[in-house]
A = this chain, B = another copy of it.
Amino acid sequence: MALLTAVAHAPGSDVGLYRTVRLIRRFEERAVELVRSGDIVGGIHPYTGQEAIAAGVCAALRVDDVITSTHRGHGHVLAKGADPGRTLAELAGRATGLNRGRGGSMHAADFALGILGANAIVGANGAIAAGAAWAARQEGGDRVAVSFFGDGAVNQGVLLEALNLAALWRLPVLFVCENNGYATTLTVSDAVAGTITGRGAAFGIPSATVDGMDPRAVLDAAREAVDRARAGGGPSLVECLTYRFDAHHTWEHKARVRYRADDEVRSGRERDPVTIQGDRLSDEDRERVDAEVEYTVDAAVAFALGSPHPDPVGALDHLYATGMRARPGGGG
């Protein structure tokens, strides 16, 4: 099997981009199965359909750059290089998970890879990324920070405040808006007055809209923004137009919520980032990557499900970074 992983590809190459979108897709599909089987508790927000964005943006980053992610974060975490096995183990609440089972889907983090965490509060991560970007600049060097967020987040005050801070202080941040048309059930047109790029521009931030279904288009826009940030040119905003193929959250698979017409979903799924990028590969390359991804995801599932559950005795381990222990709540 070593053969399958032996050939390294730059993440920004066509093969590399395909590998990433394909990995995320298959990871998410398997994760949804694990939700159905009860191995993942609490459900997930599937990233299916939006893979080009994580893949394109992260391909423009170095290992020492940092990202902050969202409730729909698996794609970002994987694209930034997290181990699929440990990521899946985290989703399944295992002791071997990225966060030792303490975070789950919405908090998956790998600080060693600059993944400062998914975040369950919409819009919360932009200011965190701004602070990380400032700290990076203080250290010297040219590291950048990326904040991923959805179209719903552009109505959060804290994110708008963060845009101002970033612009004012010319911070090396890339604000990536994944506009999938909906914040849960609310359409962008019912939620966003003006335009998303117009908001960036209002703070003097170079802001562009790109095809978020095309990994290459995203990569190009991200590279431009990252280069500018590294060169001291300050923040950028990239709005990526995309479509969420699956439910807002897996609870939708059971609930009877209807807010997207069947036609819309059908046509929304027509442009598929996996297909778009896959078509750029030879059949041979594509099959090889598919097999490799399948192997990786199989191994990830096996690793996750074979991993131990954390011991409840340590439920409050790490509550304080200093190791301070809290008073227990039981009658004792």
Q: Does A229 contact B (CB under 8 A)?
A: no
Of A167, A192, A194, chain B has the most CB atoms within 10 Å of the CB of A194
Interface hits, A118-159 → B, CB 8 Å = 155-159
Binds B, one of A5-13, A80-88, A197-205, A270-278: A197-205
Which A positions have Cβ atoms within 8 angstroms of B? 155-161, 163-164, 167-168, 190-195, 198-199, 201-205
- Whole-angstrom distance between the Cβ of A196 and the nearest chain B Cβ: 10
6 smallest CB-CB distances across A and B, nearest first, come from A157-B157, A167-B193, A202-B202, A160-B160, A193-B203, A194-B204
Task: Report 28 cross-chain contacts, Cβ distance below 8 Å, ordered by A residue.
Answer: A155-B161, A156-B157, A156-B161, A157-B157, A157-B158, A157-B159, A157-B161, A160-B160, A160-B161, A164-B192, A164-B193, A164-B194, A167-B194, A168-B190, A168-B191, A168-B193, A193-B203, A193-B204, A193-B205, A194-B201, A194-B202, A194-B203, A194-B204, A195-B202, A198-B201, A199-B202, A199-B203, A202-B202
Given contact pairs A198-B202, A199-B202, a sample of 12 additional A-B residue pairs in the complex whose CB atoms are under 8 Å apart: A155-B164, A156-B161, A157-B160, A157-B161, A164-B192, A164-B194, A167-B193, A167-B194, A168-B192, A193-B204, A194-B203, A199-B203
Closest to A168 in B: B193
In the bound complex, CA of A112 to CA of B191 (Å): 34
A205 partner residues in chain B, CB cutoff 8 A: 193
Chain copies in complex: 2
A164 partner residues in chain B, CB cutoff 8 A: 155, 192-194
In the bound complex, CA of A316 to CA of B194 (Å): 45
Of A164, A168, A193, A195, chain B has the most CB atoms within 10 Å of the CB of A193
In the bound complex, CA of A205 to CA of B193 (Å): 9
Closest to A200 in B: B202
In the bound complex, CA of A192 to CA of B163 (Å): 11
- Whole-angstrom distance between the Cβ of A124 and the nearest chain B Cβ: 12
A163 partner residues in chain B, CB cutoff 8 A: 193
- Whole-angstrom distance between the Cβ of A203 and the nearest chain B Cβ: 4
A195 partner residues in chain B, CB cutoff 8 A: 202
A202 partner residues in chain B, CB cutoff 8 A: 194-195, 198-199, 201-202
A160 partner residues in chain B, CB cutoff 8 A: 157, 160-161
In the bound complex, CA of A201 to CA of B193 (Å): 10
In the bound complex, CA of A201 to CA of B204 (Å): 13
In the bound complex, CA of A163 to CA of B161 (Å): 13
Closest to A158 in B: B157
- Whole-angstrom distance between the Cβ of A135 and the nearest chain B Cβ: 20
- Whole-angstrom distance between the Cβ of A237 and the nearest chain B Cβ: 12
A198 partner residues in chain B, CB cutoff 8 A: 201-202
